[in-house]
Amino acid sequence: MSDERTKSGIPGRSAGEADAGNIPLPVTFRDAFPGLFLQCGDGIILTDGSGTVAGWNPAMERFTGLAGPAVLGKPLPDVLFQLLPEDKKVPGSLDVIRQQVLPVPAASGTAAPRRTEHEIRGPDSGVRVLESCTVWIPGENSLTGIAILRDITRHRRLLRDMKDRYQKFSKMSSVSRHDINNQLTILNGYLALLEAGTPSMKSSDIIGILQRASARIQRILKFTRDYQEIGAEPPAWQVLADTIRVAKTMTEPGNVRISTDGTCNHVAIFADPTLVRVFSNLIENSIRHGENVSEIRISCREEGGRLVIVYEDNGIGIAPRTRALLFEHGKGKDTGYGTFLAREILAVTGISIAETGAQGKGARFEITVPERSFRPAGP
């Protein structure tokens, strides 16, 4: 039986029907699994025994942005080296790729299957991570390589995010435990004074100190609970005006007037579901630390393709030395947890926050939302 290969490499197709994914295949794989090669969601690379590319399926084209005809007949190590991110193209990297993808034939003429991972530059210039499994099929005179490549970029990103989150949570827990222990020391010390009836202090003064220490512990515990919820659910589009409205109900503004300009009423932002706590914490901080705050204003403007949300009050403002540590865990005024929590919530989707006010002129925060993380509100 003659083996008439069309340009597409698939029996029954003419050269005119060929497309970027239809490339000449080694006869054994081509005849056995033509549909799998073309339709599989995983990448498939076919090589001869010397590592020359003989097949490059449509999934590989999507992963890399390289069309099949552009890589056919080229050494696979050279193709993978071309796809490396620029910072990975260092002396010796091509040799490493050769060791990863070229067969090491055994005495029997076969070669052991091989698993490895490859970092490549994707068609969008982003870095992708591909996990490959290569098997070698002995032929009459040489080996045929079949490599299956799966895009595990999202999996790797999730693992990295989990590791980062664990490290942050571990650090946060350590500081929180230390802070709670300090407050317990205060509680135990002043309880002992109260029990002994120390004449140098009034009982009412001691009780006030105990109440403040207890309240601080409560705030720390609330913070740890809130922090655990960051990232627990995927980010979502949220109408900013609705978020601010809910934030108001979570605080006790009293006679403080909270206003939102018209622009903010018609925008939605893509953020962690705990976004409401950003605004409830800012409002609470204004009320607790602004001393004479009577008005809070929230406005929005577009600037350089980004959305800038401005939160400002008419209180005493923030001292420069406090501003430097404002978003650090446990370093701001009082506990410093609220502003730290706000920064962490916003950072989930690449939103940033900065304090841009002046002492004596009220606190002023600018929340900057990236271009693709905001849109007009609506159904």
Whether 47 and 76 have beta carbons less than 8 Å apart is answered as yes
Q: What is the distance between the alpha carbons of residues 107 and 88, in angstroms, rounded to a whole number?
A: 35
What does pTM read for this prediction?
A: 0.58
Predicted confidence (pLDDT) at residue 5 exceeds the cutoff of 60? no
Secondary structure (3-state) at 310: strand
268-325 pLDDT, tens digit each = 999 999 999 999 989 988 988 888 899 999 999 999 999 999 999 998 888 777 777 7
User: Which pLDDT band, with edges at 50, 70 and 90, does 365 fall under?
Assistant: very high
What's residue 331's pLDDT? 54
User: Which pLDDT band, with edges at 50, 70 and 90, does 19 fall under?
Assistant: very low
Secondary structure (3-state) at 354: strand
The two tokens of residue 51 are 């590592």
Cα–Cα distances (Å) from 62 to 66, 133, 157, in that order, read 8, 19, 19
Secondary structure (3-state) at 335: coil
What's residue 370's pLDDT? 94
Predicted confidence (pLDDT) at residue 86 exceeds the cutoff of 50? yes
What's residue 17's pLDDT? 38
